[in-house]
Every structure is written in structure tokens, then in C-alpha cells.
Structure 1
Amino acid sequence: MNNKINTHVIKTAIVGYGFSAKTFHLPFIDTRPEFEVSAISSSQRNIVQQEWPHAEHYFTAEEMLQNSEAQLVIITAPNDVHFSLAKLALENNKHVLLEKPFVTKIEDGETLIRLAEEKDLLLSVYHNRRWDGDFLTIKKLIAENKLGHIKHFESHFDRFRPNVRQRWREQSQDGGGILFDLGPHLIDQTLQLFGLPEAVTAQCKVMREGSTNIDYFNLTLHYPDKLARLNASLFSAGPNLRFNVQGDRGNYIKLGLDPQEERLKAGVLPNTRDWGRENQDQCGRLYFEASSQAEVTECGDYQHFYQQLADAIRNGTPPPVSAEDALWNIRLIELAMESSRLGKTMKVE
């Protein structure tokens, strides 16, 4: 990417002012010196102007993308408009960071990738859970061969939400449901560890009364020497298994979620090196044939995403997450839905 920005700060516009923007993006943009919040599009004009008085306010994303002087646009709008807004931003010569999922259709992702290449602009997707502490711990254990050859990888993102809520993530017919919401987290982490599978077998179900979208999934990714099972349920009220990684030397079991999201929701700013470190009493455990031991969790840090993002925009280095990587998530989601519909294993080609 040769379209570098050499100014002191990267002027950044945010599409949307909901949970995602306020929890996962603005705290980092606001605490990193490389960025400046220059514009926000939202219907909540009074709140935006009160909380971000130095940022321009726009009622519509389209108006902001066409008229603001922002160099980077972060899109936190509903999934079904990711494509149209990202396309408009690129057409107006702005770098783009999309919340996951990248898009809802493969061909839309391919169009955006081509357009970004033609415009020589950055296009990235916010797969922040590559920087979860427990996932970084698994990467370290595999690199150090602590578990031996991995044979079975199990990853969960379970919650207890048995009642349907009136929000777009659950109601939208284009990109709604937990397969598009939580699936990208689990799929992306698995691809980072093991690469593309040979095939996918999936059960994607509508389980809750009154639900219109997938609210349970169980995906099996088939590799030549291992299986990876990815599961998300909204009926898990007890302690939640996060990872169970089994190798021919031992296995690693981790309960509970990385603490960074909860700290961000509580208003803890990500402005110290160890802000994302997990409490030691929450760490996972290594099991061997005749012994077991606690395994201290690596320090998670979503700040690394934004540091790499700034470097990519300023210096042309690779983005923290490539759009090509993110598109594979959508391909595997489509294969999973097809596998569930047909009741058969689908090859990854």
C-alpha cells in the first residue's frame, strides 16, 4: 500500500455510536496518540456532541463518508450495510476498518478487496480476538510443543440468553444470528492456528421460541490429522468451557472469557501495558498423563490491533487483519449453512 499518511495523527471517523463503537473502538482511538476522532455519524446528536465536542457530527453515514476529511473510517453499523458503506468510503478515498463480520456475501467481499487494491487503500476487519489472552496462550503452547501433536481442538462461545431480544443482531435476515455474530471469532482463531480445513460439517439451528435466525451452531472443521469443533449456544447458564485443546502429550482446558470486553464495558481505559491481564485464579490448566498444573494466561491486548493499524496506514506495512483472511470466514460460514441444510459434509475448495 503506497497511499501512506505521514501526518502526526490519523483523522478517524466512526459510523455508528452503539455498543461496538463505544466499547471496542473509541477507547482505543482515544487513548492512542496516532489517532484523532474527527467525525461520528449517529442519530444521537445531543449525546455525541456532549461526549465528543471536538468531533464533527453527521446524522447519516453517507453524508459523513462523502463530506468529512477523515482519512480512516471505522464502520460499526449493522452487518447488512457493511458492504454498501465500505464501498462508499473506499470510493471517497478513505481507509476502512469494518467490524466483523466482514460482509454477508462472498461476492461483496471480493468487490471490496478489488476496489481497495485499485484505490491503494487499507481494508481491514476487526478480528480483535486474535489478541485474547487465552488464545495467545494456546499459540504459545503449540509453538513450544507442550501438548505435542494437536488432535482435537474445541472452542466455545456460549451464553445464557434463552429469550429473543429486539435488536438487529438477532432480528436481521441478512447477517443476523450468532453464526455471523460469534462464528467469525471462533473460525478466525482456528484458521490462525491450523490454516484452512479440508471440509466442514455443521449443525446450524434455530432453537429459541420466536427466533428467526440461527441461535445455535456446532461446526466441525476437518483437517488431515485433527478435528476442530466450534460451538456457540445461548442455553449455557453454568460455567462455560472456552477451550479444550488435546494433543498426544497432554491437553489444555480453559474456562470463562477473556476479561478485556468486560473491562471495556466497565469503563476501564486501555492505557497501561497490563490492562488486559487476567487474574491468576482464572487461568487455565495443563493436564498430562500423571500430573496437572496451572498455566498462567498470556496478557491479552487489543491495543496491538490499533498499533498495527496505525503502522499500516502510516508506513504501508501489512494490516493487523487482511480482508482476504476475513473473507475466508464468510466462505466457511456459507459452507456451514449449506452443510446444515443438506445434512452433509462440504469440501473446502
Structure 2
Amino acid sequence: MTTSSPIGVGLVGYGLAGAVLHAPIIEALPDYRIAAVMTSRAEAAERRDAPAVVSDIEALLAIDAVELVVVVTPNDLHFAHAEAALRAGRHVVIDKPMTPDVDTCDRLIDLAAETGRVLSVYHNRRWDGDFLAARARIAAGGLPALYEARWDRFRPEAAQVWRNTPRPGAGLFWDLGAHLIDQAVTLFGWPDRMTADIATQREGAGADDYFELSLQYGERRAILSAATLVAATRPHMALHGVAGSWWTEGLDPLEAALRAGRRPSEPGFVASLPDIPAFTATADGERLPAPVSAGDPYAFYRLMAAAIRTGSPPPVDPVEARNIVALIAAAHAGAPLPPPRLHDSVGRV
């Protein structure tokens, strides 16, 4: 599509991710209008553009106004919904992780190339303020000896949601691990080796709720971890090396703002978000504040619109997203680190 008219979006799924984390960002950009939502929740029709509410993917794909399908259903449904959309000639965004297994990721990448549609995966944490700050520090000062990214929560009771059930793609490692691994691989490339410790620690949890993954780059280490029983949270992201340390305390504020009902379409929305507390410690031990600005919440969908209209690269290359799935699947299976797929087929012919 080369016109500048809004791209019609079909939102497949309307839970927390669809209703709170995707739809408000999409609506904040004039490039889009939500034309249809696949959900059982009638209130989806109350969104800005009064989308049609449908009960299944076939009904959504029968709506001609839908040009881009955004898949935000449980992880084990991603493949079926994305495949149907691509075969129907629609562009596709899949919430991370792409799918819970490598074979279906490869099939979607190849199908996107065959159909000439844009396919991307919502690894939106590449535009978080702390990640952008870490990337800039690495570019300016060289690679750290140790990189840490920890996502701590204190949720002693396991909620009765699909992520805590024994089904493909459930658990903390597929959820937060997908973000943390994608960030590390974006910063440092494909590791030489990995070791993984994955566990279920809470009573009543049906899927893993703790992990610590070590990605090894020669003598350099990237330690990625998430846990649900940490009341005194540790630094979220940190760089350590011969010149000292830099670390952040707390997450990018976007998700908290969205959960609180803030609208990204509000004038000055990003400027109003609080800074992320961050600090440096020099080689002599001096600790200094170095606050980090919030990231760019609009970047992914802005780049996706450009990819659809002009053929520019998708915001997240689906081959890169597939490689994250390969790493997660291997770690879960206790298998060695797999080789990454090369960029031989990238979502558009």
C-alpha cells in the first residue's frame, strides 16, 4: 500500500496485551485505524474508530478494511492466526514470542516472503529508555565485561491465567525471557554458549516462574533473570567494566502509564512520563545519579506503517524474532545453543 490513508487494523485478541498495551499505541498514530477486533468483549466496539467486533479469525479476515492483522492471542495460537492472515493477503504483527517453536516460525517467514506481505514481531522493548541508554553507552564506551538484565516481581500467588498453565509457550521464560534475550542479542549478537536455570517456585503455578540465563561471549557475560518472589527488587539493567558501573532501578514507565489508563494520544504524553532512576559508579567508588528518559512508545508501529507503505525494513526482522524462539526452545529442552537462521528471507519479496 502506498497511500497515506490510515491502515486498517484487525486486532486478534483483546486481553491485557490487546486492549491496554497495543490498541492505545495504534490509536495514537494517524497512520492507523482499528477496523475490527476479534474478541468476546462487546466493549471493544467503544474504541476510537468504533471497530467491528467479531468472534473468529475468518470473520475478521472477511472485512476488506483490515490490511494489517495484529495477533495478541495466547502464544500457542500465534501460528494459526498469523498463517491465516498471511494466506488472506494481510500484513501481520505478532506479539512476542513469535510462536512457541522454531518450525512454525520458519513457516511464517517463508509464507510472508511467498505472499509479499510484511511480517514483524512486537519486540517493543528495543525502544525502552533504559535499553536505548545502554546501547548508547556501549556505542560510546565499548563493550562491558558484564551485562545484567533482571526483571523482578513479587507475586507470591500464581494468578489463574493461561501463562501459568502447562501449555506450549506459557511461563515466565517465554514471556519476559523473550524480551530480555532479544535485548541482549540486539546489543551483543549471537552468543558462543549459554547455560540456563529454569524453575517453578510458587505453589499452584503450572509453568515456570523463575529463570536465570547466562549468555557467554568469550570471557564476556550477559546474565538475564526474572523471578516472581523478589520483594526487594534488584537493578533492572546494568553494565559493568573496567571504567566502573552503570545501572537502572525500575522499568521504562510506559507500561505502568498504560495500565493506569493514560492515553498515548494525549499531547505531551512522552514528555510527561517520569525518568527512569539510574546511576553510575566510578572506578574509585563514587556514585552519581544519571537519570534516563522514557523511551519511544510509537517507534514500532511508526516503522511498521513505513514498511507497509514504502517497503522499508520491518521494525523487527522476523528472522531475528525466530532466532530468539530457537534459543528459548533449546534452553527449555536443555539442548546446546542452536545456530541462528541467517537473513535469507525477510518478510517481503
TM-score normalised to the size of structure 1?
A: 0.92
Partners of 1:201 and 1:276 in 2: how far apart? 40
Change (3 A) 1:103 1:230: same
2:18 is matched with 21
Task: Report whether the alignment pairs 1:256 with 2:250.
Answer: yes
Partner of 2:283: 289
1:162 aligns to what?
156
| Amino acid in structure 1 at the alignment position of 2:117 | L
- 1:277–1:299 CA contact under 8 A, matched in 2: no
Tell me which residue corresponds to 1:305.
300
Segments of 5+ residues of structure 1 without an aligned counterpart are: none
Q: Supply the AA of the counterpart residue of 2:37.
A: I
| Distance apart, 1:227 and its partner CA | 0.6
Mapped to 2, the partners of 1:315 and 1:150 lie a distance apart of 37
Q: Percent identity?
A: 34
Q: Which deviations, in whole Å up to 9, do the C-alpha atoms of 1:146-178 show, x marking residues without a partner?
A: xx4411111111111121211111115111011
Q: Which residue is equivalent to 1:31?
A: 28
Q: Which runs of 5+ in 2 are unaligned?
A: 340-349
Displacement over 6 Å in runs of 4+: none
- Structure 2: how far apart are the matches of 1:52 and 1:278? 23
1:40 matched to 2:34: no
Q: Do the aligned partners of residues 48 and 278 (structure 1) sit closer, same or farther apart at CA in structure 2, a change above 3 Å counting?
A: closer
Which residue, out of 1, 4, 8, partners 2:5?
8
- Rounded to whole Å, the distance in 2 between the matches of 1:279 and 1:204 is 33
Contact 1:216 1:232 in 2 (8 A): yes
* Distance in structure 2 (CA, Å) of the matches to 1:116 and 1:17: 24
Counterparts of 1:170-189 in structure 2, within 5 Å, are: 170-189=164-183
Compute the displacement of 1:11 (Å).
0.7
Pair 162,67 (structure 1): closer, same or farther in 2 beyond 3 Å: same
Asked if residue 338 in structure 1 is aligned to residue 337 in structure 2, the reply is no
3-state SS of 1:29 partner: helix
Which residue of 1 is the match for residue 345 of structure 2? none
With normalisation by structure 2, the TM-score equals 0.92
**Corresponding letter in the other structure for 1:6:** T
Q: Which of the numbers 204, 221, 225 marks the counterpart of 1:210?
A: 204
8 Å CA contact retained: 1:277, 1:298: no
TM-aligned CA deviation for residue 240 of structure 1 = 3.5
State the distance in 1 between where 2:220 and 2:304 align.
33
Task: State the match for 2:87 in structure 1.
Answer: 91
Distance 2:272 2:239 in 1: 21
Cα distance 1:53–1:223, how it changes in 2: closer, same or farther (>3 A)? closer
